[in-house]
Structure 1
Amino acid sequence: MKKRETISSLQRAKGERKLVMITAYDALFASLFQESCDMILVGDSLNMSFLGEPDTLSATLEQMIYHTRAVCNGAPESFVVCDMPFGSTNTPDEALTHAVEVFRRTRADAVKIEGGAERADLVRHLTRNAIPVMGHVGLKPQSVRAEGGYKVQGRDEKSIERVLQDAAAIEDAGAFALVIEGVTPTLATLVTRECDIPVIGIGAGRETDGQVLVWSDMLGFFESFKPKFVKRYLNGAEQVKAAVATYAEEVRNGLFPAEEHCYR
């Protein structure tokens, strides 16, 4: 089935239209999102949202392949990006082996790799072997333990310069687009202006070329914590709880199933 977006169309969008990206982890929700969104990210955030883990590091390659297959099945017209999980891209050859596995077993259009200048050779190795790569700079969730927590970048000259260098290195290595996370709007604006490729923000202000959010955050299903950068467009958890409570009440009172729900 023909994709609505391609790498070429996404890159042409820079400066012309804002790009919309959302996470998804299964066929059902992917099918609901594909009409409105330009890209779907199968994020390693799945283990935080749906396994209750404190960070993204527990996601495995097998999990990412399974969920990417599901998303591709549910949204066959969408441009789908698979997060390469922690530990799957330690060396260029290892990254290529695992990215090839993703491409063989799913219909993903690209992979996403966290890291800056230190990952440039790795990104270059993949792109030279026909693996499209989306980069990820700024706050890097896979480095949260090494960096001692989730730390906003761009509040001092040193971090500003580092992120600018990271973005330039990843673009030069051949990435077709870039996610920038957890940085000040000023830094995100600088990166967006300096890069010729689309820059997708999350917790990075409005001046980027597009935005990405985790669906369970923006639809209000994840109640235990709401990041500052998240806007809840739906009180999903409250509505689900109310619907299930109504179902339970009707079962207990003998109101469900009614006549119209029975075979004759």
Structure 2
Amino acid sequence: MSVNKEIKRITTNTLVKMKATGEKISMLTAYDFSFARIIDEAGIDIILVGDSASNVMAGHETTLPITLDQMIYHAQSVVRGVKRSLIVVDLPFGTYQGNSIEALSSAIRIMKETGAHAIKLEGGEEVVESIKRIISSGVPVMGHLGLTPQSIYKFGTYQVRAREEEEASRLKADAKLLEEAGCFGIVLEKIPAQLAKEVSESISIPTIGIGAGKYCDGQVLVMHDMLGINHEFKPRFLRQYLNLYELVNGAVKEYIEDVKQQRFPDETEQY
């Protein structure tokens, strides 16, 4: 389906309408002005300023170390490059799990200091009070169920979640709770495709899948994975659309060689 260029700005309401009409939602991460501008102009529906910045921008092993201040910096950079996409910012680990007042404070800081449009946080029943408090203040919230990377030390693995009936039932119940709490959408990460289908059909808000199959209302990938910048990471759910690592590596080698051999700069490249 071609990108709907007539839409001047994607809103949470746009996404609900897209689900109702069967138009799939496209979502990618971005963490800086330059890439945000490129993917916004390409027509992406949602840009997620993900706590995956902890991995791909800062080189940490997990998403846990990134701070609220760092997330705000990345979100500010992204907002300056975007005209059309809905910008969602992850609440980082430790900024909402303690209590709902802390969660609201974190969400308000992101909205006031960045100009982003919504926040995302991980978890189900255990964070519903925080979600309700944030939404009651006027801040839109996207949920996140399934594999929740901020809980990696609890899980002990990045394997597929909710294969067993008990965890699958809990996830379905959590999705309903998030909808009732007022979330405008839910990311479903690394769960069986059939379960994602059941969840997507059971709620009126959009589901955005990552490793959750084709039945979700939209898809999200980490930009660095999709473009092949992070070239070692090749999970089953990832489709790599470019091998940017090889392209950049080759260009840098060519530049080095031109400098060493005194081919750069030439007469046309000097004053």
Shared fold (TM-score greater than 0.5)?
yes
| Superposed CA offset, 1:39-84 (max 9, x none) | 1000000111122211100111001000000000011332100000
2:147 matched residue in structure 1: 139
Which secondary structure does the structure 2 equivalent of 1:145 belong to? Answer: helix
TM-score by length of 2: 0.94
1:96 matched residue in structure 2: 104
2:9 matched residue in structure 1: 4
State the distance in 2 between where 1:23 and 1:223 align. 16
1:41 matched residue in structure 2: 48
Tell me the amino acid that sits aligned with residue 19 of structure 2: K
Tell me the amino acid that sits aligned with residue 31 of structure 2: Y
Tell me the amino acid that sits aligned with residue 171 of structure 1: E
State the distance in 2 between where 1:206 and 1:154 align. 17
Equivalent in 15, 19, 22 of residue 14 of structure 1: 19
| Superposed CA offset, 1:67-117 (max 9, x none) | 000000011332100000000002110011111111110110000010011
Tell me the amino acid that sits aligned with residue 107 of structure 1: G
1:188 matched residue in structure 2: 196
- Structure 1: 4+ residue segments shifted above 3 A: none
Cα deviation for residue 3 of structure 1 reads 5.1
* Range moving further from structure 2, 46-55 or 165-174: 46-55
2:263 matched residue in structure 1: 255
1:215 matched residue in structure 2: 223
Matched, 1:171 2:179: yes
Which secondary structure does the structure 2 equivalent of 1:178 belong to? Answer: strand
1:116 matched residue in structure 2: 124
Which secondary structure does the structure 2 equivalent of 1:229 belong to? Answer: coil
State the distance in 1 between where 2:58 and 2:109 align. 24
1:224 matched residue in structure 2: 232
State the distance in 2 between where 1:42 and 1:3 align. 20
Cα deviation for residue 258 of structure 1 reads 1.5
Any unmatched runs of 5+ in structure 2? 1-6
Equivalent in 69, 79, 83 of residue 62 of structure 1: 69
TM-score by length of 1: 0.97
Which secondary structure does the structure 1 equivalent of 2:121 belong to? Answer: strand
Equivalent in 57, 76, 83 of residue 83 of structure 2: 76
State the distance in 2 between where 1:78 and 1:15 align. 19
Tell me the amino acid that sits aligned with residue 48 of structure 2: L
| Contact in 1 for aligned 2:123/2:145 (Cα 8 Å) | yes
State the distance in 2 between where 1:143 and 1:48 align. 15
Cα deviation for residue 144 of structure 1 reads 0.5
Q: CA RMSD in A?
A: 1.1
Cα deviation for residue 15 of structure 1 reads 3.9
Tell me the amino acid that sits aligned with residue 11 of structure 2: T
1:199 matched residue in structure 2: 207
Which secondary structure does the structure 2 equivalent of 1:192 belong to? Answer: helix
Which secondary structure does the structure 1 equivalent of 2:216 belong to? Answer: coil
State the distance in 2 between where 1:260 and 1:136 align. 53
State the distance in 2 between where 1:134 and 1:169 align. 13
Q: How many residues align?
A: 262
Cα deviation for residue 227 of structure 1 reads 1.9
State the distance in 1 between where 2:245 and 2:93 align. 29
Equivalent in 78, 91, 94 of residue 87 of structure 1: 94
2:4 matched residue in structure 1: none
Tell me the amino acid that sits aligned with residue 128 of structure 2: A
Any unmatched runs of 5+ in structure 1? none
| Contact in 2 for aligned 1:139/1:153 (Cα 8 Å) | yes
Matched, 1:235 2:243: yes
| Contact in 1 for aligned 2:67/2:92 (Cα 8 Å) | yes
State the distance in 1 between where 2:57 and 2:236 align. 20
